[in-house]
Structure 1
Amino acid sequence: MIVITLTKVPKSLRGDLTKWYQEIQTGVYVGNTSARVRDALWDRILENIGRGEATMVYNAQNELGYQFRTTRKDRQVVDFDGIPLMMHLKEATGGVKHGFSDAAKFHRANVMTRRSVKRSQSSSKKLMMVSLDLETTGLDPVKDTILSIGAVKWGQDDKIVQFYQLIQVPQKIPEKITELTGITVEMLNKQGISLADGLQGLQKFVADAPIVGYNLRFDEGFLLAAFRKIGQSGLSNRLIDLMPLVKKSNKFLDNYRLETVLADYEIENSHPHHALSDAQATFDLASKLKEKGLF
């Protein structure tokens, strides 16, 4: 059994804990996880606690049968002959926080405003990217080929601009792929264009902007193979794969499939396995990751 109490911490941290523990009262969480997960969550608490406080109590092999940790500055955990005790400190550690005068608050407000403007300007620049997704006839870039290309970016008028194109293929589409993507041979014959025209359209749409994707290595492999087929060099744009960033920032997801990640970030994808819909969802995910300063 593990009990955690939190006070004055960011809502995002409380949200992280609810994935593993039950909040039985405001700021009081109870659960039963492995020591590895427990320690990882405590590290997460220390990283994201802000100016709040946290205390954890958990099972241990000692006289009392439990151990505890705390971030409180007016308490200190001490060991007394193998028995953990919480010692009250006459003076809180960490020193006194200054800056409570009106002048100090006004100065701090100005500083925060300037920082906010800089972050906003920086964020706007960073959002100049193109999200990309492909649907293919299979998983092998050598044997299989691209069925559709979807891409999303910001336009010059600060509106979302989309690129979507079906690609004609010489071979039969596997039934499983048609069931998954909804793409049929009839659709490709009526609406599809050649692979060369599709790639040239993508190049024009992307220009020199960075390209982001989820599990981008998959798409990169198919793009390289596709450009070789038409006798051209591949895209030279900077490529940013969001999957490693998500794995690094959220170590406690059940899995890292795109649908799981989108659900965790509360992003709706109305048509999974549709290149344009997946590209739009990936664009939204990239925007949220950038807001968090993850790249």
Structure 2
Amino acid sequence: MIVVTLTKVPAALRGDLTKWTQEIQTGVYVGNVSARIRNLLWDRIVQNIGHGEATLAYNTNSELGYTFRTTRQDRQVVDYDGVPLMMHLKHPKTPVKPGFSNAAKFHQAKTMAHRRQVQKAVASVATKTVQLPSPLVVLDLETTGLKSVQDQIMSIGAVKRNANGQVESFQRLIQIEGTVPSKITALTGITTEQLQTQGVDLATALKDLREFVQDLTIVGYNVGFDEKFLNVGYQFVEQPNLTNTFRDLMPTVKNAQEFLDNYRLATVLEKYKIQNADPHHALADAQATLALADKLIKNGDFRI
């Protein structure tokens, strides 16, 4: 019998491990495999662990009847007269830099090769014609909660790049029914008083947004969330839904960056070295997401 505990590992590894073991609690896997399969599983875990940590405990012919292995940097397994002990290290071992595994190196090499091909193609075309940036609209909403059927839109931010490359901004605060939850105010800085004094009604905001986006493709990060709120909002004010194409950057990032610890916008922006002056502020998030879209387009990972 084996017991494996995982923390902060790529989702792909967690799914892979369920082929041989059963996840009885988040990050805890139990199985009954041969010693050969156990060793192969451990090698697979070590090679694909990314930034995470793993510990393996298994049966053995010892006084205790079991032993264990770990990848933790602040622990070391030592043998004390045949008894395995987990020693706490006063000075943790230097952590391995991200991208050490064969899988990560192969993915990085494949990504770089693809980018070089795209850059060569772009350079070839650039010698013949000047290419303007793709026209699009990047959109972000701030809401009173996560459920589109019961929560409300309280802020819309968007940036539009026209066919000539000119960038325009759009921002509306929206009056809501009731008050802004305190946790939402703490996150966004938006207060009930601001919405009452500076906000417009939902019908006006959505009408203005329609005129702003025109027929351009709408891009966002986890934009399905925003689209659901917009659809509910347009139905509530008895206006037709937007017919624009919505494109989500999150799946593209997950494909291009398989070994991120998580895919929250802040983590992704840090990975791509993009500054966000005011996180959880609709317009600032939209501006940062436009910069992300441009980097993905430049790398050949995303197209409009």
Give TM-score scaled by structure 2 length. 0.62
Asked if structure 1 preserves the Cα contact closer than 8 Å seen for 2:187 and 2:280, the reply is yes
- d(CA) in 1 for partners of 2:121, 2:255: 30
Aligned position for 2:153? 146
Q: 1:47 to 1:129 in 2, by over 3 A?
A: same
Q: How big is the shift at 1:190? A: 1.3
Aligned partner (choices 9, 33, 38) of residue 101 of structure 2: 38
1:294 aligns to 2:304 (yes or no): no
What percentage of aligned pairs have identical amino acids?
A: 45
Aligned position for 1:115? 125
Deviations 1:131-179 (A, max 9, x none): 0000000001011000000000124663321000000001211000111
Q: How big is the shift at 1:209? A: 0.3
1:196 aligns to 2:203 (yes or no): yes
1:79-118 alignment runs, 5 A limit: 114-117=124-127
Aligned position for 1:183? 190
Aligned partner (choices 197, 201, 216) of residue 223 of structure 2: 216
Aligned position for 2:110? 47
Aligned position for 1:23? none
Q: 1:157 to 1:45 in 2, by over 3 A?
A: closer
Q: 1:118 to 1:289 in 2, by over 3 A?
A: farther
Aligned position for 1:131? 138
Number of residue pairs matched by the alignment: 205
Q: How big is the shift at 1:292? A: 1.1
- What's the Cα RMSD here? 2.7
Deviations 1:194-231 (A, max 9, x none): 10000011000000000000011110110011011011
Q: How big is the shift at 1:48? A: 4.5
Aligned position for 1:255? 262
Q: Which has the higher contact order (CA 8 A, sep 6+)?
A: 2
SS at match of 1:227: helix
Moved over 6 A (4+): none
Deviations 1:86-116 (A, max 9, x none): xxxxxxxxxxxxxxxxxxxxxxxx9985423
- d(CA) in 2 for partners of 1:168, 1:40: 50
Q: How big is the shift at 1:119? A: 8.4
- d(CA) in 2 for partners of 1:111, 1:248: 22
1:245 aligns to 2:252 (yes or no): yes
Q: 1:31 to 1:183 in 2, by over 3 A?
A: closer
Q: How big is the shift at 1:117? A: 4.3
SS at match of 1:219: helix
Q: Which amino acid aligns with 1:250?
A: Q
Give TM-score scaled by structure 1 length. 0.64
- d(CA) in 2 for partners of 1:137, 1:111: 45
- d(CA) in 2 for partners of 1:153, 1:255: 28
Q: Which amino acid aligns with 1:220?
A: E
Is there any run of 5+ residues in structure 1 with no aligned partner, and where? Answer: 1-18, 21-29, 51-109
Aligned partner (choices 265, 272, 276) of residue 279 of structure 2: 272
SS at match of 1:267: coil
Q: 1:45 to 1:225 in 2, by over 3 A?
A: closer
Q: Which amino acid aligns with 1:38?
A: S
1:150-161 alignment runs, 5 A limit: 150-155=157-162, 158-161=165-168
